[in-house]
């Protein structure tokens, strides 16, 4: 897994992906979505949304 910096759309704080919680980490059948929780304001930072079925 590559570490990268993401910017929260709500509070504009940058976070390292290694340091924050991955919101979709409990998904046992990962389909490639990438969603993190902002440690500053708990907003979901969507990098890659769930693909439409
Ligand atoms: Zn935020």
pLDDT category at 50 given cuts 50, 70, 90 is confident
Contact 16, 40 (CB under 8 A): no
State the pLDDT at residue 1.
60
Q: Which residues surround ligand 1, an ion (CB under 5 A)?
A: 8, 10-11, 38, 40-41, 43
pLDDT band at 24 (very low <50, low <70, confident <90, very high): confident
Q: What region does 12 belong to: left with phi over 0, alpha with psi -120 to 50, or beta?
A: left
Q: What's the pTM?
A: 0.76
Burial of residue 37 (number of CB atoms within 10 Å: 0-12, 13-18, 19+): middle
CA 48 to ligand 1 centroid distance, Å: 17
The arithmetic mean of pLDDT across residues 1-18, rounded, is 92
Please give the span between the terminal C-alpha atoms of the chain, in angstroms, as a whole number.
Answer: 25
Look at residues 6, 53, 52 and name the one whose alpha carbon lies nearest to residue 23: 6
């Amino acid at each position: 897994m590559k570490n990268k910096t993401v910017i929260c759309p709500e509070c504009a704080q940058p976070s390292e992906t290694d340091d924050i919680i991955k919101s979709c980490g409990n998904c046992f059948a990962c389909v490639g979505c990438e969603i993190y929780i902002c440690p500053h304001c708990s907003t979901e930072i969507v990098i890659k949304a769930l693909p439409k079925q």
